[in-house]
Amino acid sequence: MVCSEPSVCVKLVIVLDLIKSNPSLQAMSGLDAAFLYLEQPHMPMHVGSLCIFEGALKFDDFRLVLAQRMSKLRTFRQKLVNVPLSVDRPFWVDDPHFRLDDHLHHTALPAPGGWRELRRLCSRLFAQTLDRDRPLWEFVFVEGLNNIPQVPAQSTAIISKIHHAAIDGGSGNTIMSVLFDAQPIQPNGDAPEIKAAKPIPSDLELMAHSAADFVRRPFKLPSILLETARATLQSGTFSRVLRREMAVPFRAPHVPFNQPVDRSRLWNTAVLDLRRVKALKDLMKCTLNDVVLAICAGALRHYLLQRESLPEAPLVAMVPISTRKSTQRQDLGNQVDATLVELASQIEDPIERLCQIQRNMAHAKTNHKAANANLIMEYSELVPYGVAGQAARLYTRTELAKRHRPLFNCVITNVPGPRIPLYLAGHRMIASMGMAPIVDGVGLTIVVFSYGDLLTISPMSSPRVMPDLDVFARLLRESANELESAVQAHGAEAHGTD
């Protein structure tokens, strides 16, 4: 092929060479981009956390620790740059105008400084979208925790928000390992200078990089379809669906939290003793995740019974599964797959419900192992960014969530955290609780996080969907107690029989 305009060809070659030599330009995966085109003003797509620290941590010490470790957190210094006309996914680029103080906020709880005031603050902050003109994260430093049980007066909280396009649960743990210490170390010294970032790439660079990648994508489709067919046949998916041994999309029953969400958010948490939950796992010879799902299922059952809305068919939860390998622990971004699990919510007896969930999870794991765990990421690479964004907005405007059976009923994500105590500027972290987004049609997300000897189960919803989320948080604690009593009684009965 002969180029009729040599100067154009020369320019293209130069641009491609510039792209290759520009390490600050980082392509975004299709799965990461999905959290961008799903985001709308009423649906912020960040993940977050509430961490409580013992004692009066000083804001200046907190800021110094962040400044000293910012060089190890490149994702905190990267911003989005959009391809012209949104013909392709945005890119991550080092922000040449990055300022740490743009991402830090300082506030205090109103009197009496209790849990009610803290969760209201979290709910309000979690409802606010992040500024896409800056790196997609912010921390809020909260003083005046004076009236929270088992938390010393004058303690401090850090509320974090990081866009889901940048991290998942696994990479969130990586960030924690950088920010926090395993020993009470007092900060000292100055923050090192961060090397100035290169100028933001030009539109020509972005278009050339996008075009080169876009041309290769269609050639991936045949191999992805072939791998899908292989995995389906090997896993026996069709026969399992017919025998109802595995959940499938759009077969979940409709319940009150499967409707469009509003702009406000409600967030709460239930704090459990991890040792007691693990004891249930050991007695029932199942996994910790099985017990967690059973606790959530019990709370969902009682919540819907109180509202005379419990369906005969079991509720279905989407359960994310990390595909992160040991060699990828330091990689950020999203590396997850997902499976659907029936929660046996139609079963009244807590023990029978747990046993059924254990069987359902076993089937889901078998299917997941037989399949290529990266298929969801590979398919996401083929989705046109501009079209996907328009489709997401159209889905919201037409309120289609009201017009079809739910894809699934809720999201339950279980992220194992560190068992050892963590410290920030010499102050011990007492507890850590998670938060994840909700979307139209799936108005309930439950984040489970373990740290030390605590297990926190944190539901997120909106006033339009679950105005009484505080009741559901209480039901989570009651469900855990109900299951514990049933398991202990079952163990005593079995022991007496023996």
Q: Which residues are known to be catalytic?
A: 164
Query: How many whole angstroms separate alpha carbon 207 and alpha carbon 414?
Result: 39
Query: How many whole angstroms separate alpha carbon 16 and alpha carbon 209?
Result: 7
Query: How many whole angstroms separate alpha carbon 49 and alpha carbon 38?
Result: 21
Q: Is 224 exposed, middle or buried (0-12, 13-18, 19+ CB in 10 A)?
A: middle
Query: How many whole angstroms separate alpha carbon 141 and alpha carbon 235?
Result: 48
The torsion angle over the Cα atoms of residues 363, 332, 165 and 368, rounded to 10 degrees, is: -10
Other C-beta atoms within 10 Å of 2: how many?
5
Query: How many whole angstroms separate alpha carbon 90 and alpha carbon 71?
Result: 23
Are 207 and 84 in contact by the 8 Å Cβ rule? The answer is yes
* DSSP bridge pairs for 142: 107, 157
Of the candidates 298, 307, 302, 310, the one whose C-alpha atom is nearest the C-alpha of residue 350 is 298
The torsion angle over the Cα atoms of residues 90, 377, 435 and 132, rounded to 10 degrees, is: 0
Phi, psi angle pair for 456, to nearest 5° = -105, 135
Query: How many whole angstroms separate alpha carbon 122 and alpha carbon 127?
Result: 9
User: Residues with Cβ < 8 Å from 302, sequence gap 6 or more?
Assistant: 475, 478, 479
